Structure 1
Amino acid sequence: MTTSQGATREQGRVPQEERTRAMRARLLEATVELLVERGFSGTSTTLVSERAGVSRGAQLHHFPTKNDLVVAAVEHLTQVRGAELAAAAARLPAPRSTRAVLDLLGDHFTSPVFTAALELWVAARTDPDLMAAVGPLEQKVGREVHRLSVELLGVDETAPGARELVQATLDLVRGLGLANTITDDRRRREAILDRWALVLDATLTGRTRA
């Protein structure tokens, strides 16, 4: 094989690799969309391939089983959740108010990506293989959300009880997000977050508001 032939083959390989990455991304995005729309039990490899516009054979080549597909989607979803949260944090105006931070967290835990993650949590409870994939990634997300919350709220975690109050905040907004999957809970959520912002201002940051 000549040098020019080798270069031609190398040039041809790159677009194929890009096409493969794009196809995998479409499959993973379609999986997340279907988890939101139909839940875990209503998501099938056939529906995913149809939604992604990918042939059944190509989908099975990369993800032979539903669990293979869902595990890859878990990793994809983890990256999406982290990126969305970081982008929302970057858009917060300075100086950041406690209430604005709670709004950011509340929006995160009522977003479609949270709904998709929730479907995976429920399915993983009785599926050891899925739990092995979901568990570590959820811990990673949890640590990152906690770190970002501490940063945005300007909390000194060396203060007694500060860490626990940050975690209570995350448990609160996560629970409100769960309630929102049943019915539109915005009005009640807003009232609760208004009150919780006052609590945090008084106990975590030492600020008071009129």
Structure 2
Amino acid sequence: MSTPTRVPQEERTRVMRQRLLEATVECLVEVGFARTSTTLVSQRAGVSRGAQLHHFPTKNDLVLAAVGHVTQIRGSDLETAAATMPHGTRRTRAVLQMLGDHFASPVFSAALELWVAARTDPALLAAVGPLEQRVGREVHRLTVELLGIDEEVPGNRELIQATLDLVRGLGLANTISDDTRRRARILDRWADRLDAVLAAQPSSRDHSTKEQP
């Protein structure tokens, strides 16, 4: 009879921390920052209260770790979605759909809860601020790359910023009620607008708009 393989302590610790962080994100989405507690998180994660306190003694410890976890998820989700973008005339609308889906996702709702809490919590703000700036830069970079826009052309950088402000605002609207249909109509029109403006700059989009064989 074979002896069961013993999972190394380091791996058990990693898995437990991962479960706690995922449970924290779920709680932020479902009940908000104010009602998220260490007790609720440990129950959701299926981890004993003592084990949870060993890894994260306070709610702030837990939430600050969750900030990094949320940031990592958002970056990974964007990279994965970016890899599936079509080429040709459908590309602009597909990129806007990707951005719209990202800012209407549960993980964005979790990030939003952290933004609101950070406004009056200096320690949380010190953690959330730099990470949100990093995510913002990455989203901006991906959008420029996917749309094939030359930011050195006057007005193009503002066009990208307006696009990101638009999808972020639509994501905020979606936290109140399901805004899927209205969002789709707005993104349809904005894709038309982007294509019309960028049609005068064919050289900046050649690499991203050609149909693949």
Query: RCO (CA 8 Å, sep 6+): is it higher in 1 or 2?
Result: 2
Residues 1:60 and 2:47 aligned together:
no
Amino acid of the residue matched to residue 46 of structure 1?
A: T
Q: Which amino acid aligns with 1:69?
A: L
* Matched AA of 1:157: E
Kindly tell me: are residues 205 and 163 of structure 1, through their superposed partners in 2, closer, same or farther at Cα, counting changes over 3 Å?
Answer: farther
Which residue of structure 2 aligns with residue 153 of structure 1?
A: 147
Q: Please, which of 70, 77, 82 is the counterpart of residue 84 of structure 1? A: 77
Runs of 4+ in 1 over 4 A off after TM superposition: none
Structure 2 Cα separation of the partners of residues 206 and 101 of structure 1: 19
Tell me the residue number matched to 1:3. none
2:111 is the alignment partner of 1:117: yes
Deviation sequence 1:146-173 (CA, Å, 0-9, x none): 0000001110000001011101100000
CA contact (8 A) 1:154 1:205 kept: no
1:203 aligned onto 2:197: yes
Q: What is the CA-CA distance between 1:204 and the residue it aligns to?
A: 3.1
- The 5 A counterparts of 1:4-43 are 15-43=8-36
1:189 aligns with 2:183: yes
- Residue 159 of structure 2 aligns to which amino acid in structure 1? L
Determine the structure 1 residue equivalent to 2:174.
180
TM-score normalised to structure 1 length: 0.90
Check whether the contact 2:33–2:117 (CA below 8 A) recurs between aligned residues. Answer: yes
1:187 Cα deviation from its structure 2 partner: 1.4
Deviates more, 1:48-57 or 1:90-99: 90-99
Counterpart selection for 2:158 from 156, 164, 179:
164
**Structure 1 residues 90 and 73: alpha-carbon distance in aligned structure 2, compared to 1, 3 A threshold:** same
Question: How many angstroms apart in 2 are the aligned matches of 1:119 and 1:191?
Answer: 27
**Alpha-carbon displacement from aligned partner over 1:161-207 (angstroms, at most 9, x marks no partner):** 10111011000000000000001111111111111111111223538
**SS of residue in 1 equivalent to 2:8:** helix
Residue 46 of structure 2 aligns with an amino acid whose one-letter code is G
Residue 91 of structure 2 is matched in structure 1 by 97
Deviation (angstroms), 1:134: 0.3
Once the two structures are superposed, residues 14-34 of structure 1 have per-residue CA deviations (whole angstroms, 9 ceiling, x without a partner) of: 710000000000000000001
User: How many residue pairs align between the two structures?
Assistant: 197
C-alpha distance in structure 1 between counterparts of 2:39 and 2:136, whole Å? 32
Return the offset for 1:94.
Answer: 2.7
Letter of the 1:27 counterpart: L
Greater displacement, 50-59 / 28-37:
50-59
1:6 — aligned with what? none
- Would you say the 8 A contact 1:155–1:205 is kept in 2? no
Amino acid at match of 2:186: I
The root-mean-square deviation of aligned C-alpha atoms, in Å, is 1.6
